[in-house]
A and B are shown apart, each in its own frame.
Chain A
Amino acid sequence: MRSPQMYAHLINRTNLVDLRPVMEMTTRIYLDNSATTPVAPQVLEAMLPYFSELYGNASSLHGFGQEAHAALDESREAIAETLGADPSEIIFTAGATEADNLAIKGLAFANPGKRHIITTAIEHDAVLSTCRWLETQGREVTYVGVDANGRVDPRDIAKAIREDTLLVSVMAGNNEIGTIEPIEEIGEICREHGVLFHIDAVQAYGKIPLPLEVIDLLSVSAHKISGPKGVGFLYVRKGIKLTPVLHGGGHERGLRSGTENIPGVVGMAAAARLAFSEMGEVVPRLSGYRERLIESITALPGTRLNGDRTDSLPHVSNFSFAGIEGESLVMRLDEHGIATSTGSACSSPNLEPSHVLVAIGVPLTMAHGSLRISTGRQTTSEEIDALLAVLPSVVKDLRAISPFKVVQ
């Protein structure tokens, strides 16, 4: 779908980066879009002038600075519009990990009297590790569990709220299994109890509607929505006080010092516009791929779907295969030029599989054989066919060398 002509202007313009070898690898299939996504051609195009032509520092008074500042303002407005927020509520960061840190630590530092935070057992490490660190600093954290499909029960959140609860942080959609959380219900509970509500919307932004009226803080990363790496934002509702994590020149209303990453921010705004403008086409298409993957893969012996069949992000599906280990499966698929990922333990030092799969009660024997397939706007139906064509034989081969026999 990407023709060499699309990149021709780049090659001619810079003479530095020759992208042709990348373009020629047409046989490779990328189904790991929850990890990162390719920058969309139109996003790249929007960014390019901001490297060597419009390279000013947005804080500078001269024309170069004004150009950069205008780009920053326009990008902030475009992003605010996608959420129905005010531009002043968007704080640019270097990604969602930073946005999560700023939200959680920033609130904790600004509210020393409110010692308690509530989150869930299936959050991304950017939230979990931040909460665990705050525990070492004298804060208390409740990690609410989830059901077998990965869904948080809003009543469990309500039960966990205490007098000194500062914040509830729940992801909108899970990055490993795709389950969508009941954000609206949890948000209403937080409102009733006067507790702040942060959501990690990294996988959900641009894919599902986000009820901003019940959300106080929201983290997003550009590179999950066909934007560049190294840039993200935190939505912070007006009136909420945060203590910055980074101190310096006072950029971003003093909440995030550091010269603004103008090409990145422009790219993120272009990616956001793209995601929201084509949501009506992309989401049903990716849901269709997911449905096809579930139908075909769960029909194989010794497999299970991890996550919720219907209440899911459209682009993430996660399966377990009895008798085989996930990393081997990923490596075998890679030999066929198909990129996927696993929640298996083999690359973690403690040998325990993904905390998400453990939290939803996947038997450890099955949790080690997990495979995450995540599609993107550029994924084609033919690519899904290609995966489904090789997967059964790959699974069969790996089971043949496993001591655990699964009836084929």
Chain B
Amino acid sequence: MYTEKVIEHFRHPHHMGKLDDYSAVGKVGNIVCGDVMWLYIKVENDEQGREVISDISWETFGCTAAIATSSMVSDIAKGKTIDQAIAITNRDVAAELGGLPPIKMHCSALAADALNEAIYSYLTEQGREIPTALSKRHEHIAKEIASLEERYKAFADKEEL
């Protein structure tokens, strides 16, 4: 069901945990659906003065695929400039893992969304202009989270956690 690459990342995930001095965090997913991903990024200027993701980490509640995609997106995004990181899609994440079962593709979407949200949050906090693609994606993610919360309202009201 899973590729060797997925299993390898699940067994030995990279960049897991929470960064001590992160610049921004992207929080996506919903616990009632069984997937929650928090992605931390540290942004610094490199020698050419470009903003790069100098460090990255994540905390994930989810299945094998969710953990493997968290690990993979952190590998792909680390060292990238903000512009390069914005361009990372869920297809990139899934492709680097050698593919995911169709039923698990939403996990790779979650990983790309978390990165998107972390960058959106960073640029917003810096009071910077948000590229259209990024803000569109942000609106879409926010809408999805709201619809999930609505859909599971009956359940969530009963939650203890």
List the interface of chain A (C-beta within 8 A of B).
Answer: 322-328, 331, 335, 344-347, 349, 351, 353, 358, 361, 363-366, 368, 400-404
Contact = CB atoms under 8 A, between A and B. Distances in A.
Contact of B60 (A322, A349, A365, A401): A401
B32 A328 contact: no
B32 A365 contact: yes
Contacts of A328: 10, 62-64, 66-67
Contacts of A325: 34-35, 61-63, 66
Nearest to A345: B34
Given A328-B67, A368-B31, A403 B152 contact: no
A327 B1 CA distance: 13
Given A328-B10, A363-B158, A364-B31, 12 more contacts: A326-B63, A327-B64, A328-B63, A328-B64, A328-B67, A351-B34, A351-B35, A361-B158, A363-B161, A366-B161, A402-B60, A403-B59
A364 B155 contact: yes
B159 interface: yes
A351 B63 CA distance: 11
Given A401-B59, A401-B67, A345 B159 contact: no
Contacts of A364: 31-32, 152, 155-156, 159
B25 to A, nearest CB: 10
19 contacts: A322-B161, A325-B35, A325-B61, A328-B62, A328-B66, A335-B11, A346-B104, A351-B34, A363-B158, A363-B159, A364-B156, A364-B159, A401-B13, A401-B58, A402-B61, A403-B27, A403-B36, A404-B31, A404-B61
Interface in B18-39: 27, 31-38
B133 interface: no
Given A325-B66, A344-B34, A403 B159 contact: no
- Secondary structure dominating the interface of B: mixed
A351 B17 CA distance: 25
Nearest to B27: A403
Contacts of A331: 10, 64
Given A345-B33, A361-B158, A401 B63 contact: no
Interface in B49-71: 58-67
A325 B66 CA distance: 10
A354 to B, nearest CB: 11
Interface in B79-110: 103-104, 106
Interface in B117-161: 152, 155-156, 158-161
Nearest to B159: A363
Central interface residue in B13, B67, B156, by most chain A CB within 10 Å: B67
Nearest to B59: A403
Central interface residue in B13, B31, B38, B152, by most chain A CB within 10 Å: B31
Contacts of B160: 363, 365-366
B14 to A, nearest CB: 11
B60 A403 contact: yes
Contacts of A346: 34-35, 62-66, 104
Contacts of B59: 401-403
A324 B34 CA distance: 9
A324 B33 contact: no
A361 B159 CA distance: 10
A349 B103 contact: yes
Nearest to B160: A363
